[in-house]
Amino acid sequence: MPFKRRDTTAPHTQKLSVFNLPLDHESRECHLSSIRSHQNGQYLYEVTFPGSRSGWRGTIHVPEHKLDRAAKQAWTNHYYTAPIGPGSEGMPIKRSAATKGIATFLDLVSEKTSRETGKGMYVRGLEVEFKGTKYKGEALLLKEDPIMKEMIEWARDGLNARESIEGDDEDGLRKSHIHTVEFFGPAPKKGRKSEVEIWELDGDNVLFAGKVSVRSLEDDEDGTRELVIDVRIEGENYFLRGELRERMKVGRFMVIKENEA
């Protein structure tokens, strides 16, 4: 029988505001894509993200003393030849290895409505490490973004999971532990190997990166794929059971016993 998701979210966790949830502070590659403005001694840079976060948009404030003379001159030339105004995209920066940084997404801080589309959006804290310096800013994303909706659900379930194992012994804690699993490459198939990364639900520590065996896989009518994977970490075999929603390659997986696989 296919494994079905159980609604285990505690009542108080369901009521907790999204702005109070401990979201996973994940880190991803990013690129500085343009300079939007310059005022009060700071340049406002736009930041873009690849892959599943490509629909998100970030901005960071960079003090003017951090820019070299060539960058400042380029901005000055742009400003006077193409004045910043409504709808302007600022001064574009050609993407290269020199524009690459590491973005860390923090907790949600507020919400707003897009003036262009009228859709609801979340504002998420953002920290970008670029050339050895960390800069603060914010990331904008749609409330309906599937990645964000999944992260909010993980955070709620994670709070409940920590409550549900309170008082258990160490063995019970390990067996019920929840991990985040992200699949890469082709969609997983039963009996084949899949390339994955496995990390803690409430942290960014990668526990495993490599190939795992898909022990079982069931497709639901709603497009959800429920599966069990077999992974060997530090000399021990673990079985993890979870699900991937339609068009998603990342999901929550729980450690189970071998006879439950």
pLDDT of 201: 63
Distance CA 91, CA 73 (A): 12
Residue 172 forms part of a structural domain: yes
pLDDT in tens, the chain (261 residues): 222 333 333 434 445 678 877 788 888 999 999 999 999 999 999 999 988 889 999 999 999 999 999 999 999 999 888 765 555 668 999 999 999 999 999 989 999 998 888 999 999 999 999 999 999 999 999 999 988 888 888 777 766 554 443 444 443 324 557 788 889 888 899 889 999 988 776 555 678 889 999 999 988 776 778 899 999 877 888 899 888 877 778 888 888 876 565
Same structural domain, 133 and 206: no
Same structural domain, 130 and 23: yes
pLDDT of 176: 53
Model pTM?
0.59
pLDDT of 236: 83
Same structural domain, 180 and 113: no
Distance CA 227, CA 243 (A): 6
Amino acid letter, 229? I
Same structural domain, 252 and 183: yes
For the chain, counts of helices (H) and of strands (E): 4, 13
C-alpha distance from residue 104 to each of 11, 25, 131, 212 (Å): 30, 6, 15, 27
Same structural domain, 234 and 133: no
Distance CA 10, CA 202 (A): 17
Same structural domain, 123 and 195: no
Same structural domain, 178 and 71: no
**Total number of domains in the chain:** 2
The residue out of 142, 177, 208 marking a domain boundary is 142
Distance CA 137, CA 32 (A): 12
Note down the domain range covering 130.
Answer: 18-142
Residue 24 forms part of a structural domain: yes
Residue 13 forms part of a structural domain: no
Residue 157 forms part of a structural domain: no
pLDDT of 258: 67
The residue out of 110, 142, 174 marking a domain boundary is 142
Distance CA 151, CA 157 (A): 10
- Are 189 and 218 in contact by the 8 Å Cβ rule? The answer is no
Residue 3 forms part of a structural domain: no
pLDDT of 202: 56
pLDDT of 37: 92
Count how many residues are written for the chain: 261
User: Nearest Cα to 252, choosing from 218, 216, 224?
Assistant: 224
pLDDT of 165: 39
pLDDT of 244: 85
Same structural domain, 94 and 126: yes
Looking only at the bridges linking them, the beta strands covering 57-63 and 120-130 are: unpaired
pLDDT of 229: 93
Tell me which residue has tokens 């005022």: 39
Same structural domain, 112 and 186: no
Residue 152 forms part of a structural domain: no
C-alpha distance from residue 36 to each of 40, 74, 85, 96, 122 (Å): 14, 13, 10, 19, 20
Same structural domain, 22 and 136: yes
pLDDT of 232: 86
Residue 12 forms part of a structural domain: no
Distance CA 255, CA 210 (A): 18
Same structural domain, 237 and 127: no
Residue 126 forms part of a structural domain: yes
